[in-house]
């Protein structure tokens, strides 16, 4: 929440635009509409974010005795002008509607509700979207933000996955951030975004990009490849199995060699002995696993869990390619 406060106040962009280490006095002066009686408490926000690695302290160029705040790699990816800015993703996960169900987690363990979200609001997240389109837009923006970064890395490291493909269907592709990037990189391949009608309604395609509305638990368009980017962690094993069987049908419906299912998702590595960087990655994976538990009864899966799902859906083999170290 301290990070959310810094984002809401625009502190990261203010420090970036300052162009050099920024003292606490300079920062307080630069903050718009700051209540003067609370200016002294800005230091407390900065202090915890320094210890969290969001900011760092650095000696001023013209005064070796005084320090100013600078950005770190962790905060640069939150800048508004960063093409891979993930601030919308953080805004989505920290929205009050999303954070409130965490307070009902213990209550959920003692009742029959499907999720803590349902315990809190007496309906599923998907049903909640129907009367709060603003929240759905916030979530979609967060997903699109995440997709920009993940897709850029994926295309860079896994171009061979698209070799020889004429068509691709991005199932649960949202507003099409991933499919657009793929369509731009591979102009000779037709990419189709498949998602709920209310999500794709009114979205404009292009020569090699189109949008189709429907339900992923029912039949969806066929293609040389079916893509599922973080579409499976929203569902329990039963739901995932239904989706994977539909994918198996889609890639097996035509007599053509090389048709495939491409999945971009997490593989949790909780039992590996790893360095600090990998440990941080695992903590992030486990946080998202808890987020799926709280919101939609989904989960992040270990390799063994993925293997069981693939086998149960009828896939005879699979290959995992790590794209994040």
Confirm whether 51 is a catalytic residue: no
Q: Angle at CA 174, nearest 5°, toward 244 and 313?
A: 0
Report helix, strand or coil for 117: helix
Q: How far apart are the first and last CA of the chain?
A: 28
Decide if 140 contacts 84 (C-beta within 8 A): no
Decide if 145 contacts 80 (C-beta within 8 A): no
How far apart, in whole angstroms, are the C-alpha atoms of residue 165 and residue 163? 6
Six-digit token string for 264: 């971009």
Q: Angle at CA 103, nearest 5°, toward 98 and 104?
A: 95
Decide if 144 contacts 179 (C-beta within 8 A): no
Backbone phi, psi, residue 132, to 5°: -140, 70
- Give Cα 110 to chain centroid, integer Å: 30
Q: Which of 290, 311, 309, 308 is nearest to 299 (CA)?
A: 290
Six-digit token string for 55: 């900011």
Catalytic residues: 233
């Amino acid at each position: 929440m301290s990070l959310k406060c810094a984002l809401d106040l625009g502190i990261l962009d203010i420090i970036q635009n300052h162009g050099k280490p920024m003292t606490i006095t300079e920062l307080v002066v630069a903050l718009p509409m700051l209540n003067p009686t609370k200016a002294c408490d800005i230091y407390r926000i900065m202090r915890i974010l320094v210890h969290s690695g969001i900011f760092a302290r650095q000696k001023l160029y013209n005064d070796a005795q005084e320090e100013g705040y600078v950005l770190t790699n962790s905060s640069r990816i939150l800048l508004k002008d960063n093409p891979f800015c993930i601030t919308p993703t953080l805004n989505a996960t920290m929205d009050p509607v999303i954070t409130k169900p965490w307070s009902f987690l213990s209550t959920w363990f003692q009742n029959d509700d499907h999720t803590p979200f349902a315990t809190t609001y007496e309906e599923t997240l998907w049903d909640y979207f129907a009367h709060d389109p603003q929240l759905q837009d916030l979530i979609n923006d967060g997903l699109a933000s995440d997709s920009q970064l993940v897709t850029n890395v994926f295309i860079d490291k896994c171009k061979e996955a698209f070799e020889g493909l004429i068509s691709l269907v991005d199932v649960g592709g949202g507003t099409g951030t991933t499919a657009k990037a793929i369509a731009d990189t591979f102009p000779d391949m037709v990419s189709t975004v498949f998602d709920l009608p209310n999500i794709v309604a009114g979205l404009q395609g292009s020569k090699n990009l189109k949008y189709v509305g429907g339900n992923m638990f029912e039949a969806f368009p066929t293609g040389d490849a079916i893509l599922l980017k973080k579409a499976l962690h929203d569902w329990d094993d039963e739901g995932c199995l239904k989706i994977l069987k539909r994918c198996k049908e889609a890639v097996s419906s035509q007599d053509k060699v090389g048709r495939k299912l491409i999945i971009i998702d997490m593989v949790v590595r909780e039992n590996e002995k790893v360095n600090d960087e990998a440990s941080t990655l695992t903590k992030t994976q486990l946080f998202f696993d808890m987020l799926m538990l709280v919101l939609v009864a989904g989960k992040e899966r270990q390799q063994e869990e993925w293997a069981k799902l693939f086998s149960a859906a009828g896939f005879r083999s699979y290959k995992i390619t790590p794209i994040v170290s």
